[in-house]
Chains A and B, each alone.
Chain A
Amino acid sequence: MTNGYGGIIARGIKRSFGSVDAVRSIDFEAPPGEVTALIGPNGSGKTTLLLILASLLAPDAGTLTVGGSDPATDSAAVRRKVGWMPDTLGVWESLKAREILTTVGALYGLTTAAASTRAAELLDAVRLTEYADAPARVLSRGQQQRLSLARALIHDPEVLLLDEPASGLDPGSRVELRIMLRRLAGEGKTIVVSSHVLSELDEIADRAVFVSRGESVKTQTLDEAGSQLRRYCIQAEPMSALADVLSSHGVVFEERGDSRRVEYQVLLSSTEQAAWLLRTLVLANVVVTAFAPAGGALEETYMSLDTERQ
């Protein structure tokens, strides 16, 4: 079964392990040329879904096409197109970084010459060139993570499945990961990223699928997420002046205690409303020292879903 659509379409995916329903009902779509975030709490079925998309696990029910092919009927076609970076870092510890890449390249049918050229490029792209001939066991966790990303890219896949790619990365590497993923998406690749670091996904992802307890609960583009009700944090010198102006304009606010400094939180429906409030405060001679969204757009959605936290 093949169709021209290069991305991922999954409908009604179910998968249980014995009596545990890891995935109960997930609808998932990832169009080519976009980064799709897969967001959910621990144990919500993200990794299981990614294993199903990577053609390693068979779903109990549901229909699935990855890169235009069904993993159940043509897993080889799916594997040619899919690069997968697992959350558990499996590395052959005694192999050199370069050897790991060329070996995996060979397992995708690349010629020795093509595999070694490609390995050199990818080592450069993930800044591991100086460790190319070091055994993988001496690499730090973050370096192994980057090597794992390079491994997933060795056969230039159309679909990239990344399970928690940013965990263990230092801030500089996170920025590089972001740039790399945006560039790959720009080349028309389908990219799926699961992560807990929501603020980061704000900047990488075009769209997000929220899963909770094995079900997909919401699908949202970042534009939609940006235009929803959002909380803003405001600080001023002194806070009493801020409180007076907010009250006089009928803006409901609450004091937040979980921050080191006292701040007020207000709920605003759009960026226009935020701009209006800031202008009003400044014109009322309130010395505003901080005025910012309380969290990322995706975090806002995540917290509002609330299904998991009771």
Chain B
Amino acid sequence: MSTQLIESSRPLSLGYATGVRSIFGLEMKQRLRGRAWYIMMAVWFLVIGLVFLLATLTTSATGGAGPFLFDLVVGFVLFFGLLVAPGLSANAINGDRAGGTLAILQITLLTPGQILWGKWLASWVASLGFLALSSPFIFWALALGGVNPLEAVVSLVVLALELGLVCALGVGTSALATRPLFSIVTTYMMVALLGLGTLIAFGLSMTLVMEEDVPVVQSYYNYPPEVQLSQEIPSEEDLVCVTDEITTTVWHTERTAWLLAANPFVIVADAVPYDRAADDLPVGSFNETYRAPGVMESISDQVRLAQAGPDYNVTCAEAQFFGPRSRDIESEPFPIWPLGLALQGGLAAVVLWAGRRKLVTPARRLSQGTRIA
């Protein structure tokens, strides 16, 4: 055994990217050699396949199955992705700590940041495997027609970003918590907070943004009193536009709509560039190109409705069933998904930053029950 192998003149050093890549490689090797990942992928494929098959059967009777199926698959992939990503990421650090391998990494030239980046990248790539596995269904729905390929591409990209953000939450939490079980549950809670908590918070905030006795102008078509009293059958020409000034209760949802932005489903739904112009119909007519919005598009529409806030002036044209969407609103709806990504990214950054502090060595404070090695 020669000890001259490492020339002492050159001090050992580890480049930042090299360290991250080494950790990434180490993690991926372990995942690829374990069986758990493959079993989870098989279960995933079966479940998504089943959902897709059932949806195909139910929609085959009606036309325009493509957009509906596409929305459904994207929604389910996001839902299952939110379930899988915490499991893939939230034991990254404390699992190693329990196995005694974390200290072996910490004793090398690795910095806490390199460990976190490497672990996060590995868990993200592992969860992207699930996304890749569901892409056949997405492309199948695409092939059925009616969906703009750009919508599919954007959906996949935003889904990938969402998985990455959840993985970041998981890896950060796993550095903070002592036990894998605790960090996995905590990550699920955070995902639930984003997915359901934002809805609940939005719902509960309704009373806070309620304003009573607001004068609004409401117009509608009605028959004049003399027509109503006469015995003749009224014709459509008799309809007149009636305008009432009334006071009512309005909800300023434009002030709380940002709460919904942090919802993963809202982010994915809102980021997709639907062909919204095609849905705006000319007044009082039936549009040949009209298509029913899918699950995800409905979510986006609802959020934009909330962003708009109360409508103080309903014109007769708007009151019609096939009326235009233009409204006298508090604020103009804008794409809310960048805000959502920023909120989630901020949360992930805070969790990762806190987790990084737990990896700094020489360690000053250790959590109760933690052993370095």
Q: Please give the residue numbers on chain A whose beta carbons come within 8 Å of chain B beta carbons, in ascending order.
A: 17-18, 47, 51-52, 54-59, 71-72, 75-76, 79-80, 82, 84, 86-92, 94-95, 99, 103-104, 106-110, 114, 117-118, 121-122, 124-125, 135, 151, 155-156, 187
B39 in the interface (beta carbon within 8 A): no
- Which residues from B are CB-within-8-Å of A72? 362
Chain A, Cβ-Cβ closest to B4: A156
Q: Are B6 and A87 closer than 8 Å at their CB atoms?
A: no
B364 in the interface (beta carbon within 8 A): yes
B246 in the interface (beta carbon within 8 A): no
- Ordered nearest first, which 5 A-B pairs have the shortest CB separation? A90-B100, A58-B362, A107-B108, A90-B101, A94-B33
B316 in the interface (beta carbon within 8 A): no
Across chains A and B, the number of contacting residue pairs, with CB separation under 8 Å, is 114
Q: How far is the CA of A103 from the CA of B361 in the complex (A)?
A: 21
Q: Are B373 and A51 closer than 8 Å at their CB atoms?
A: yes
A90-B99, A106-B18, A107-B14 are known contacts. Are A56 and B362 too (CB-CB below 8 A)? Answer: yes
- Which residues from B are CB-within-8-Å of A91? 100-101
Q: Are A95 and B372 closer than 8 Å at their CB atoms?
A: no
Chain B interface size range: 35 or more
B50 in the interface (beta carbon within 8 A): no
B103 in the interface (beta carbon within 8 A): yes
- Which residues from B are CB-within-8-Å of A104? 104, 108
Contact sample, A vs B, 24 pairs, CB 8 Å cutoff: A51-B372, A56-B107, A56-B361, A56-B362, A56-B372, A57-B372, A58-B363, A72-B362, A75-B361, A75-B362, A79-B108, A80-B109, A95-B26, A95-B30, A99-B29, A103-B25, A104-B108, A107-B14, A107-B105, A107-B108, A109-B109, A114-B5, A135-B33, A155-B6
Q: Are B6 and A114 closer than 8 Å at their CB atoms?
A: yes
By DSSP majority rule, is chain B's interface helix, strand, loop, or mixed? Answer: loop
A79-B109, A88-B373, A92-B30 are known contacts. Are A52 and B362 too (CB-CB below 8 A)? Answer: yes
Given contacts A57-B361, A80-B109, 8 further A-B contacts (CB under 8 A): A79-B107, A90-B99, A90-B101, A90-B104, A104-B104, A107-B110, A108-B12, A121-B2
- Which residues from B are CB-within-8-Å of A92? 26, 30, 101
Q: Are A94 and B30 closer than 8 Å at their CB atoms?
A: yes
B132 in the interface (beta carbon within 8 A): no
B6-44 residues at the A interface, CB under 8 angstroms: 6, 11-15, 18-19, 22, 25-26, 29-30, 33-34
B104-144 residues at the A interface, CB under 8 angstroms: 104-110
A99 to chain B minimum Cβ distance, whole angstroms, is: 7
- The listed residue (B1, B6, B109, B361) touching A107 by CB distance below 8 A is B109
Q: Are B12 and A55 closer than 8 Å at their CB atoms?
A: no
Q: Please give the residue numbers on chain B whose beta carbons come within 8 Å of chain A beta carbons, in ascending order.
A: 1-3, 5-6, 11-15, 18-19, 22, 25-26, 29-30, 33-34, 96, 99-110, 361-364, 366, 368, 372-373
- The listed residue (B12, B29, B361, B373) touching A95 by CB distance below 8 A is B29
- The listed residue (A47, A55, A94) touching B107 by CB distance below 8 A is A55
Q: Are A121 and B5 closer than 8 Å at their CB atoms?
A: yes
Q: How far is the CA of A108 from the CA of B14 in the complex (A)?
A: 6
Q: Tell me which of B19, B105, B361 has the highest count of chain A C-beta atoms within 10 A of its own C-beta.
A: B361
Q: How far is the CA of A171 from the CA of B207 in the complex (A)?
A: 77
Q: How far is the CA of A208 from the CA of B39 in the complex (A)?
A: 53
Q: Are A124 and B104 closer than 8 Å at their CB atoms?
A: no
B226 to chain A minimum Cβ distance, whole angstroms, is: 88
- The listed residue (A57, A84, A86, A109) touching B12 by CB distance below 8 A is A109
B308 to chain A minimum Cβ distance, whole angstroms, is: 54
A155 to chain B minimum Cβ distance, whole angstroms, is: 6
